[in-house]
Structure 1
Amino acid sequence: MTDQRDNIYADSLAEPGLFAFDDRVATVFPDMIKRSVPGYTTVVAMTGLIASRYASAGSTLYDLGCSLGASTLSMKQNTLPADCRIVGVDNSSAMLERCEVILATDSHDTPVELMLADLTDVVVQDASVVVLNWTLQFVPVEKREAVLRGIYEGMRPGGVVVLSEKVTFEDPHLDALNIDLHHQFKRANGYSDLEIANKRNALENVLIPETLASHKQRIAQAGFSSCDVWFQCFNFASLVAVK
């Protein structure tokens, strides 16, 4: 299975349509996300370190919106306590099919179960670590609080959530600046202005970013005792919340 270069939005005549995690996206996803999300490699690698710090024996670690399993692998390849398992959840069969092939090449011991399901239908149970890396932003805003409450209720005391998101800024000037810096990042990685514009149009009303303040407030309302940003690059940030 060979990963291809992302040129999905390079056609000037084609109607972009709404973004979807279909087979076309799954095929180019590793290239797409590395060239589109500043700090992606760092966040994924550090997700594994955070998991190794907070995972407790006999618990479940969840990768919600696992896509091709990058965060799952990062957790799996770190030292975890005895009898842990990882559950990777995604609502895209195209993503999970490729994820299964990728995970099969890894020899580390922690077992992984892949689940085809919508995030809003997942029941988290006996979890010590829950990862949502660039996932909650695709859930309708009105359903996000229920998702976090369900995660909280299914976690062990002392467990953590890693939440990575594209964010907006309350100050319009800073918001415009960080959007522009993100676009410059994508241009530096070989995307044309046409591709950037087409991708942005495709994501309109599909990916809904929020401010960090909104995320922190929702996490607190769900019951978590502590939450703060541990990584940020332009308008992409990752938070850790502790139960």
Structure 2
Amino acid sequence: MTDASYRDAIFSTPLDRVASFSFDEQVVACFPDMVRRSIPGYGQILGMLGLLAERHLRHGAHVYDLGCSLGAVGLSLAGRLAPEAFALTGVDLSPAMLARARATAETEAPRHQLAFVEGDIRELDYRASGMIVLNFTLQFLPPADRDAVIARLFEALEPGGILVLSEKIVAPDEQENAWLVERYHDFKRANGYSDMEISQKRTALENVLMPDTLAQHQARLQAAGFARVTTWFQYLNFASMVAFKERAGGTSTETADTSAGGDPA
């Protein structure tokens, strides 16, 4: 990274009043450490994005990373694909995140076409794209806005394109959900967070991060028109899905790959 990254200690001291969570300069400074210690499987999800792009992305196609933070999705794709294989636009509301994303891309992937713009994904004028990534972004939008966003992304995808949606989820069964949350807190403790840090961050995220169930995500994606939705990853109450837009003729990219001689196993 071009700038120093620090250990996440934002909630390590008692606060008289816990403000709502925001992606400000303080968060940017420790963001790599925060996601590593707070999001189970984050590295594995990033690593798979490059593999998904290799399999499903048309050569030269455009990619969106919506809620791009420090630009890790673009770097993942750049690590697997040649500079001419794709162009990526990262979108975020945080100027501090975008500034660091640009600096990092210039240093770590200078030959790739990685652009970063400030914008609200609910209002963006989308261009045709072969792949769209929403990594832990939809959960920060008001629930009433989510259906419309997914519908717009479906329209922006080229036939045969894919949407990758990674989210914190809630289980519909109260007892199951409580168990998942407890084990998630164990995960954070094992990564060095104190009970006070866990409690204060949870307070900061109330009414800011509002998760859906897997069934709600799947129903929303199917209602938008996606032919198939596959949950390829889940670790406790975090999951990642791939939604396929049919090619002309009614096949998804995965179906087309298998029929062309890919290993169905």
- TM-score if structure 2 supplies the norm length? 0.89
Instruction: Tell me the residue number matched to 1:6.
Output: 8
**1:146-165 matches, cutoff 5 A:** 146-165=148-167
Deviations 1:16-63 (A, max 9, x none): 200000111011100001100000100011111112211113321110
State how far apart, in whole Å, the 2-side matches of 1:203 and 1:68 are.
20
Mark the CA change 1:226 to 1:81 in structure 2 (over 3 Å): closer, same or farther.
farther
CA distance in 2, matches of 1:50, 1:136: 20
8 Å Cα contact 2:66/2:137 also seen in 1: yes
1:104, distance to aligned residue in structure 2 (A): 1.2
Q: Give distance in 1, aligned partners of 2:156 and 2:244.
A: 13
Q: Secondary structure at the match of 1:210?
A: coil
**What aligned pairs does 1:64-103 form with structure 2 within 5 A after superposition?**
64-79=66-81, 82=84, 84-103=86-105
Instruction: Name the CA distance, whole Å, in 1 between partners of 2:35 and 2:236.
Output: 15
| Offset of residue 14 of structure 1 | 4.1
CA RMSD for the aligned pairs? 1.3
User: Structure 2: how far apart are the matches of 1:167 and 1:80?
Assistant: 34
Alignment of 1:1-243 (within 5 A): 1-79=3-81, 82=84, 84-107=86-109, 109-243=111-245
3-state SS, counterpart of residue 231 of structure 1: strand
Q: Deviations over 1:191-231 (max 9, x none)?
A: 00000000000000000001000000000011110002000
- CA offset at residue 83 of structure 1? 5.3
Aligned length: 243
Amino acid aligned to 2:170: T
Partner SS for 1:121: coil
Give the distance between the partners of 1:151 and 1:164, measured in 2 at CA.
15
Report if aligned partners of 2:91, 2:121 keep a CA contact under 8 Å in 1: yes
Deviation at 1:112, TM superposition (A): 1.0
Structure 1 residue identity aligned to 2:239:
A
User: Given that residues 55 and 81 in structure 1 are in contact (C-alpha distance below 8 angstroms), is that contact kept between their aligned partners in structure 2?
Assistant: no
Q: TM-score, normalised by structure 1?
A: 0.97
Q: Spell out, residue by residue over 1:155-179, the C-alpha distance to the aligned partner (whole angstroms, 9 max, x if none).
A: 1111001100000001111100000
Secondary structure of 2:122's counterpart equals helix
After superposition, the Cα gap between the structure-2 partners of 1:50 and 1:80, relative to the gap in structure 1 and judged at 3 Å, is farther
Calculate percent identity across the aligned residue pairs: 44
Deviation of 1:15 after TM superposition, in Å, equals 2.1
Q: Could you say what secondary structure the match of 1:145 adopts? A: helix
Larger Rg: 2
Closer/same/farther in 2, CA of residues 83 and 187 from structure 1, 3 Å limit: closer
